[in-house]
Amino acid sequence: MIPSPIKTFALAAAFAACLPLSASAGEQQTFDAFSAWTGKGFTVQSGPNEKTFVGSVAGRVYVETDKGPTDAGEMICPLKLKVNTQTGSQEMTGSCTIAGSDGALMNLDLKCTGVYMVGCKGDSTITAGGTGRFANVTGGGPFTIRASRRESTQDGSTAIIDQAASGIIFWRGFKYNTP
């Protein structure tokens, strides 16, 4: 079940809160993070050889530290995934909202390509619109997203398929720069 947007927004704070706070102006920080997510959305036939999923994923986020993963809260990411039904290739675009415990916001754009039912690799980029300590922060890094379970329901009266899924997203070598 996807948490309510208000609850997700409030809980997403910890991911951003775990970013190293000791960064000086103009300093670059690097970290690894991951989220085990659940998602929900709809898939439609969007072309002769194409299906499109539109939905969102949300879940607990963990930042990896020397002492192991640290619970960093939650995130929510609206996504659009296009699948070529002949080749199995896929393209995904989306964005994530991550909020710090102090109310500071960070936004990420996601873009990746891959193979349907296997995964998608690409780049995430911090976008303008951050607030508080994340105002004017820049950076990003590579990420991979994979779905491990999918459930589909269709009542037969529509071409829209209701879908739920779960999986993992992880960032290795995510870098951000303070202004």
Low-confidence winner among 113-117, 151-155, 165-169 (lowest mean pLDDT)? 151-155
Distance of alpha carbon 49 from alpha carbon 110, whole angstroms: 24
Q: Whole-prediction pTM value?
A: 0.79
Tokens 């994530």 -> residue: 96
Band of the pLDDT at 155, cuts 50, 70, 90?
Answer: low
Distance of alpha carbon 129 from alpha carbon 115, whole angstroms: 32
In sign, the C-alpha dihedral spanning 78, 83, 88, 91 is negative
Number of domains in the chain: 1
For residue 18, what are the contacts with CB-CB under 8 A and spacing of at least 6? 31, 33, 63, 70, 72
Find the domain containing 35 and state its range: 5-20+29-177
Band of the pLDDT at 25, cuts 50, 70, 90?
Answer: low
CATH of the domain at 34: 2.40.350.10
The number of beta carbons lying within 10 Å of the beta carbon of residue 109 is 14
**Predicted local distance difference test score (pLDDT) of residue 132:** 85
- Mean pLDDT across the stretch 127-142? 87
**Predicted local distance difference test score (pLDDT) of residue 100:** 65
DSSP symbols for the chain = -PPPHHHHHHHTHHHHHTS-TTPPTT-EEEEEEEEEEEEEEEEEEEETTEEEEEEEEEEEEEEEETTEEEEEEEEEEEEEEEEETTT-EEEEEEEEEEE-TTS-EEEEEEEEEEETTTEEEEEEEE-S---GGGTT-EEEEEEEEEEEEEEEE--SS-S-EEEEEEEEEEEEEEEEE--
Which tens digit of pLDDT belongs to each residue from 53-111?
A: 999 999 887 889 999 998 776 789 999 999 999 999 999 999 998 876 677 778 999 99
